[in-house]
Amino acid sequence: MDIQVLYDLAVYLGITALIVFIFTVLTGLRVIKTKPKRHIHKKLALTAFTLVCIHGIVMIYFYFFI
């Protein structure tokens, strides 16, 4: 896998995670109202956390090892 593609993917994951985190905060504060039975807030939080972890690991790799 080309290193530049991995770096670009990590940047896009970071941007996506930021948007999902903002949406999660807004649903948690009930600014954006969702149906409570769907548990959308928890699913978005877990998705955003996963994206941030992947982004962080890749960026640490680039910062320290390349």
Domain hosting residue 28, numbered range:
3-65
Q: Output the six-digit token pair for 34.
A: 């969702």
Q: Report the predicted TM-score, pTM, of the whole model to 2 decimal places.
A: 0.74
Gyration radius of the chain's alpha carbons:
15
Is pLDDT of 1 > 70? Answer: no
What are 4-52's pLDDT values in tens digits? 888 888 889 889 888 988 888 888 888 888 777 777 778 888 888 898 8
* pLDDT of amino acid 66: 80
Is pLDDT of 61 > 80? Answer: yes
Alpha carbon distance 53, 60 (integer Å): 10
* pLDDT of amino acid 33: 82
Query: How far does Cα 47 stand from its chain's mean position?
Result: 6
Domain tally, the chain: 1
